[in-house]
Structure 1
Amino acid sequence: MPSMPRTIPAPTNGLFKDMEDDDNQRGPERDETDSFHQLVRHLVADGDSRAAKASRLARRTLAQMGAVR
């Protein structure tokens, strides 16, 4: 009985695109979120220190901002 060679099916979007889609489905990686949180912490600390130098405190609650419920 003659046998036919089997071929591997081609990736649908190309190998690189398939790998990228798989990575995107996993979500952000730990080092990406850590660097983002580090940036935000730096910006908050900088803003707080600037407000303290100007003899002001940043408003933190709705009551401190004068909001009435």
Structure 2
Amino acid sequence: MKPQFEEAKFFSQGLAAVRIGGKFGYINIKGEFIIQPQFDEAECFYGGLASVEIGGEGYCIDKTGNFID
């Protein structure tokens, strides 16, 4: 059986960062994408926020995928 994801990080606050097709997104415990793969790097959620990277730039997102200023 072939793995579904290229990389998977720990679940934190109900979501886990997973890499598929070279990009990270976030899944829930059912394996459903809550935030579609679009990030070059992604960290676990802490306090409702997670650090992500796109094109060498760092950003913070909330659990719906909205970018936080």
Tell me the TM-score range normalised by the shorter chain. under 0.3
The TM-score, its normalising length taken from structure 1, stands at 0.23
The TM-score, its normalising length taken from structure 2, stands at 0.23
- Which is richer in helix? 1
- Which is richer in strand? 2
Larger RCO, structures 1/2 (Cα 8 Å, 6+ apart): 2
Which has the higher Rg, Structure 1 or Structure 2? Answer: 1
